Amino acid sequence: MDKNDSNFRQTQPIMFDGMALPPIPPLLKDAKKRFEEIRNMEYRKGDIILAIYLKSGTHWVWEIVCMLLKQKAEYSKEPKELFFLEAMPDLSMVENMESPRAVNTHLPYRWLPKQHIENGGKIVHVVRNPKDVCVSLYHHMKSSEEIREIKDFKTFYETVFMNPNAKLMDGWYKYEKDFEQAEKNDTGGTIFTVHYESLKTNPITEISRLAEFLNINLKDQDIAEIADKCSFKKLKLANDTIKDHSILDIGEKSIGEKIKEFMYRKGEIGDWKNHFTVAMNEHFDAVYKEEMKDSHIKIQFE
């Protein structure tokens, strides 16, 4: 075992199917069981799955999808985590949800519910600049105390995000390339992909595209109101004042309050420039060029 692999395993002990997983209770208990439960979930017409890599806008897009389904710019009182497939205490909760059901996951494409894919269920996917993903993931894991042994960003970059032995949730490269291939094979148009940066700079245009994908007809004013309510500043305020995070608590553990404190940080484009050194950036660009040489994904780095 090399040094990078050893360091990573000290901070991220759950390994399954060749990838490292976040320390979520159901995964800590039995990752294989939870993954198989998700893959064997029963499909219901109208189901929507948000399948998005870590720190790539899941909270943001989930709120947008919920508003589109309600056809009004109204925040959901329930936090996104309540419908997070990996973290649900029991997946029977999905069965009790009213249709159309919108759930979210960070699982790679090969582990998504088989029935959902076979029946042409809709999948919403977001691609974000991996440099910003790296920075956001570092701050998230540091705030949630998942990486106590890693004291600085450079160490995280080398031992976790860019470590070929780590493969956090399959690693960004494989995760996105597998989704790219799935979309190429998607003859039914069931996968909707939006770039985080496009949604940030042109929210009305991208939300209109998403509404069309979901077969939802709304007036331009309604779309504009949803875009406004889902700005980072207003979502963060809603997270602090409207969301009922207490429903996530288990026993005496205030999980909901802890999540509330660190889930929203900046939501900016280009924050990587405040963290990457010139040498790190050159290293990243070289690795990216090699990893993505056969990919047609157009990442918006600037």
Catalytic residues: 106
β-strand pairing of 48-51 with 102-105: parallel
Q: CA–CA separation, 239 vs 40, rounded Å?
A: 32
Q: Are 248 and 81 in contact (CB under 8 A)?
A: yes
- Over the range 231-243, which residues count as b (16 or more CB within 10 Å of their CB) and which as e? eeeebbebbeeeb
Respond yes or no on whether the N-terminal peptide bond of residue 100 is cis (omega within 30° of 0). yes
- Count Cβ atoms below 10 Å from residue 210 Cβ, excluding itself: 20
Q: CA–CA separation, 194 vs 52, rounded Å?
A: 10
Q: Are 202 and 132 in contact (CB under 8 A)?
A: no
Partner residues linked to 253 by β-bridges? 250
Q: Are 254 and 247 in contact (CB under 8 A)?
A: no
Q: What is the DSSP letter of 56?
A: S
Report which of 264, 262, 256, 258 is spatially closest to residue 231, judged by C-alpha positions.
Answer: 264
